[in-house]
């Protein structure tokens, strides 16, 4: 939208709600008698009295001409601004107007007030109204009688829950959450293998219910998900129930108020719930991955709406998951894991680490099937009351993982087809071998959960390693 042409002569911008403008109102009347003067009023077209006022309550002239404070006085020739005075400063005004005397009885100087056209509450609305945004996405106009929430369902944008309407203002506000340019490509998103811009991520983050400060986490999660190692394409397409699980580490957890404590995998925390949802909406809407279409899960799991949580680093006996995967301490990261729903490990009696490790092992052994090994990774989410047992005994992360590896060596004769009267199992050739349940690095240890309850949790993985998906760590950039 082009800027409205300014009238020649002197041009003043004022608002009634500004004491300095009220102070200079008589000066404007004085000037109008001697010079060509146009006065734009931002909040009240009847102010100031005694001069002809141009109504700028829609702020079009103020916005286009970059008025930052009122009063602002301009000198305009042939529609072009030649001079500008901001606030009331007698000497400046006299020089600009070319008059020997002005505003007798007024103080020499008074600063002005903020212009309504730069009011933070209105800045985005005005940028949208005057077409100043660089957003490139297609505009979808809703008809007057169309319910906007129903319209989003009807267009297939929803995961089954209501969405926040992605208006231009909300998307611009979301983009304030990152320093990255809206047109920067974040990832190639499967299954359609589409280049996805920061802007498209922001639109889907708005719909998911994110706050702008969550956006860097969503962007990092998307980058990690769309690597060949994580293979979100296969994870989407699989008949198994897994979906992307996001573990957040580092200072950003607290900065955006994530939950790592009570009900950590459950409902109730906006950041946890909406970051995971935003990732899934990008896969759905940008990548084109939809349930029943490319997503062929037999059962799926409720975490495919959103499964995102933070590690309780402060209460942990161990270094954070991110550090164990190679991140520098103190950096904010996401770790993507291909996971199904969490399952509880109850052990209310073990008070020594060996006993508790054995409890973990017998539960981990059953993952997906007790007779299948080396096929799936797992997150072992140790609750604070269980972690206390290892802390008190001085067991490091490596020691616990090493012990689990020892305890999860399984005789091949228990694994072969037919063993235990169960057809499922491994070929007869492994009968004399001993096989580990998990590949090296196949258990990811995370500390999280509420302070009460002698419980931990297992999040089972999908086809692990290079044939399927590997956990991927990504630093969160602002």
Applying CB under 8 A, which residues contact another protein? 135, 137-144, 148, 151-152, 157, 165-168, 171, 189, 192, 194, 196, 199-200, 203-204, 207, 228, 231, 233-235, 237-238, 281, 285-288, 463, 466-469
Q: Could you please report the per-residue DSSP string of 58-113?
A: T-HHHHHTT--EESEEEEEETTEEEEEEESEEHHHHHHHHT-S---TTS-SEE--E
**CB 274, min distance to another protein, A:** 14
Burial 435-466 (b: 16+ CB within 10 A, else e): ebbbeeebbbbbbbbbeeebbbbbbbbbbbbe
Which residue in this structure is represented by tokens 């005075």? 85
Using alpha carbons, select from 184, 215, 213, 192 the residue that is nearest to residue 279: 215
Nearer to another protein, 155 or 351 (CB): 155
**CB 75, min distance to another protein, A:** 38
Which residue in this structure is represented by tokens 């660089």? 134
Nearer to another protein, 452 or 467 (CB): 467
**CB 173, min distance to another protein, A:** 12
**CB 147, min distance to another protein, A:** 10
Nearer to another protein, 406 or 424 (CB): 424
**CB 465, min distance to another protein, A:** 10
**CB 283, min distance to another protein, A:** 11
Nearer to another protein, 48 or 212 (CB): 212
Nearer to another protein, 18 or 283 (CB): 283
- CA separation for the pair 235, 376 (Å, rounded): 13
Nearer to another protein, 160 or 268 (CB): 160
**CB 169, min distance to another protein, A:** 10
Q: DSSP letter at 442?
A: -
Backbone angles phi, psi at 474, to 5 degrees: -140, 135
Which residue in this structure is represented by tokens 């991927």? 472
Torsion angle of C-alpha atoms 75, 80, 82, 84, degrees rounded to 10: 60
Nearer to another protein, 199 or 223 (CB): 199
């Amino acid at each position: 939208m082009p800027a409205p042409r300014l009238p020649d002569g002197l041009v003043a911008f004022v608002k009634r709600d500004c004491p300095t403008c009220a102070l200079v109102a008589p000066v404007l009347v004085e000037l109008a008698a001697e010079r060509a003067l146009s006065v734009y009023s931002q909040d009240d077209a009847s102010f100031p009295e005694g001069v002809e006022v141009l109504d700028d309550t829609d702020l079009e002239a103020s916005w286009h001409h970059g008025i930052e404070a009122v009063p602002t006085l301009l000198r305009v020739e042939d529609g072009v601004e030649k001079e500008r005075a901001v606030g009331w400063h007698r000497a400046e005004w006299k020089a600009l107007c070319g008059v020997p005397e002005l505003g007798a009885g007024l103080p020499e100087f008074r600063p002005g007030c903020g212009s309504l056209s730069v009011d933070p509450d209105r800045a985005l609305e005005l940028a949208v109204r005057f077409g100043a945004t660089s957003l490139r996405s297609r505009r979808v106009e809703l008809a007057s009688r169309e319910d906007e929430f129903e319209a989003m369902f009807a267009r297939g944008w929803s995961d089954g829950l209501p969405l926040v309407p992605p208006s231009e203002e909300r998307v611009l506000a979301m983009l304030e959450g990152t320093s990255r340019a809206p047109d920067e490509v974040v990832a190639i998103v499967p299954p359609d293998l589409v280049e996805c811009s920061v802007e498209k991520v922001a639109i889907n983050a708005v719909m998911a219910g994110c706050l702008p400060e969550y956006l860097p986490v969503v962007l990092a999660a998307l980058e990690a998900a769309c690597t060949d190692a994580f293979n979100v394409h296969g994870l989407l397409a699989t008949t198994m129930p897994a979906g992307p699980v996001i573990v957040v580490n580092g200072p950003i957890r607290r900065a955006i108020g994530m939950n790592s404590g009570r009900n950590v995998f459950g409902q109730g925390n906006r950041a946890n719930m909406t970051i995971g949802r935003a990732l899934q909406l990008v896969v759905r809407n940008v990548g084109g991955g939809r349930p029943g279409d490319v997503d062929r899960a037999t059962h799926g799991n409720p975490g495919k709406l959103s499964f995102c949580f933070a590690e309780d680093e402060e209460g942990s006996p161990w270094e954070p998951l991110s550090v164990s995967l190679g991140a520098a301490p103190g950096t904010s990261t996401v770790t993507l894991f291909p996971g199904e729903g969490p399952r509880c490990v109850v052990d209310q009696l073990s008070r020594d680490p060996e006993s508790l490790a054995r409890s973990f092992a017998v539960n981990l052994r059953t993952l997906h099937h007790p007779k299948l090994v080396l096929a799936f990774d797992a997150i072992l989410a140790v609750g604070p009351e269980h972690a206390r047992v290892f802390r008190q005994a001085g067991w490091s992360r490596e020691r616990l993982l090493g012990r689990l590896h020892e305890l999860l060596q399984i005789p091949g004769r228990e694994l072969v087809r037919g063993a235990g009267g169960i057809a499922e199992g491994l070929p007869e050739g492994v009968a004399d071998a001993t096989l580990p349940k998990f590949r090296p690095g196949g258990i990811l240890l995370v500390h999280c959960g509420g302070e009460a309850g002698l419980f931990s949790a297992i999040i089972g993985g999908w086809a692990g390693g290079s044939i399927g998906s590997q956990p991927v760590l990504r630093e969160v950039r602002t």
